[in-house]
Chain A
């Protein structure tokens, strides 16, 4: 069965960096686009970034563009989110999610499997 397990969260100070990881199993990871979605405490879902099946296409929400970088290692079935210049408003549970499509050229469809999420707290 499909499993997505995030790790790397924690409490950090504003302006610092953190890298989230997502270990994927139960499907052919290299065939699908992958997303990061976040949810601030008590708030709704916010799409963060997507990467195509082969890593050639990446798209970001305006709120993180220039600060966050999504990447993947298909040899290890791993998805990453490098977060730099963290702000208090980045505090959230971060989910990795599998797309049902390859997302090449932006051809994404829906987020059909989600991880359990990892909490990132940015506080001084």
Chain B
């Protein structure tokens, strides 16, 4: 039941873009379109930013976008703002006959 692999850190200047990768296997990321991304500020609960690979919940700025290719999902934050500085976690459904649900290792985004 290994976590999905994310880079430990990413950074960008205000107004720039940053892309975070999330690598799994054909049993999780590659096997289902149930990849989500969560933002977590220090001491706060996670917030859903992207679901089902590329959909944005209401209230999430369109600066946040998601995609997937084979076993790797990606989150792109365009037009970086100071408030985007946070930890970001991907997650994937892995099947009811597998380990069901798995999170990524997390990426600290610095603006």
Smallest distance from the beta carbon of B81 to chain A beta carbons, Å?
A: 22
How far, in whole Å, are A35 and B5 apart by their CA atoms in the complex?
22
Number of interface residues of B (CB under 8 A): 26
Q: Which A residues are in CB contact (< 8 Å) with B89?
A: 44-45
Asked if A89 is at the interface (CB within 8 A of a chain B CB), the reply is no
Smallest distance from the beta carbon of A17 to chain B beta carbons, Å?
A: 24
Contact of A108 among B34, B47, B99 (CB under 8 A): B34
Contact with B along A48-71 (1 / 0, CB 8 A): 001000000101111100000000
Indicate if the CB atoms of B96 and A109 lie closer than 8 Å: no
How far, in whole Å, are A59 and B101 apart by their CA atoms in the complex?
9
Query: What are 12 inter-chain pairs, A to B, with CB distance below 8 A?
Result: A44-B105, A45-B40, A45-B106, A50-B100, A60-B100, A61-B99, A61-B100, A97-B46, A105-B96, A109-B51, A110-B34, A114-B46
Minimum CB distance partner of A116 in chain B = B45
Provided the pairs A44-B89, A45-B89, A62-B99 are in contact, do residues A114 and B47 lie with their beta carbons within 8 angstroms? yes
Minimum CB distance partner of B89 in chain A = A45
4 closest pairs, A vs B, by CB? A106-B96, A110-B51, A110-B36, A114-B45
Indicate if the CB atoms of B46 and A63 lie closer than 8 Å: no
A-B contacts counted at CB < 8 A amount to 74
Contact of A45 among B38, B48, B51, B52 (CB under 8 A): B38
Q: Which A residues are in CB contact (< 8 Å) with B52?
A: 109-110
Q: Which B residues are in CB contact (< 8 Å) with A74?
A: none
How far, in whole Å, are A105 and B51 apart by their CA atoms in the complex?
20
Asked if B95 is at the interface (CB within 8 A of a chain A CB), the reply is yes
Q: Which B residues are in CB contact (< 8 Å) with A50?
A: 100-101
**Most chain B CB within a 10 A radius of its CB, from A44, A59, A112:** A44
Provided the pairs A110-B36, A110-B51 are in contact, do residues A46 and B45 lie with their beta carbons within 8 angstroms? no
